[in-house]
Amino acid sequence: MPNSPEPKSKIQSPIPPELKSKIQSPIPPELSKKRSASGWLEHYTKNKKLKDGTIATFPRVEGHREPEEPSHWYWAYKYEEKNPIAKSANGFVTRARGVPSSKVYSVRYAIASHWSISDILQLLKSC
């Protein structure tokens, strides 16, 4: 019996060719939320009050919400930027950029490969 190919994830985003040359290593199984020069990804949900008065959590998920499933969360790419008028003690300001669920895996890979912040922002702008 021939081996059947493993099913691919529903959400995939190709990495643009101009950024592919910067990839250094494969993505580790788990990424820590530790801040690094490349930034970090955070997932979150939104609570909204519906017309009937109930509160619903978005994105809506049937059953259990999986922590690593991109479609079960909203995602934000966060990074620190040096700012001379920052009110923090270290002089940095945290910036955030929304990440579509289709690009979560690509951004994770870029962070794990230590891409620069500008390259990751360019990845988010592409496609």
110 touches 18 (CB < 8 A): no
pLDDT interval class at 92 (50, 70, 90): confident
In this predicted structure, the answer to whether residue 28 has a pLDDT above a threshold of 60 is no
Class of residue 116 by CB neighbours under 10 A (exposed 0-12, middle 13-18, buried 19+): middle
Model confidence, pTM: 0.64
The per-residue pLDDT for 40 is 93
Q: Any idea where the domains of the chain sit in the sequence?
A: 36-125
Side-chain-side CA neighbours of 78 within 13 Å: the count stands at 13
In this predicted structure, the answer to whether residue 41 has a pLDDT above a threshold of 90 is yes
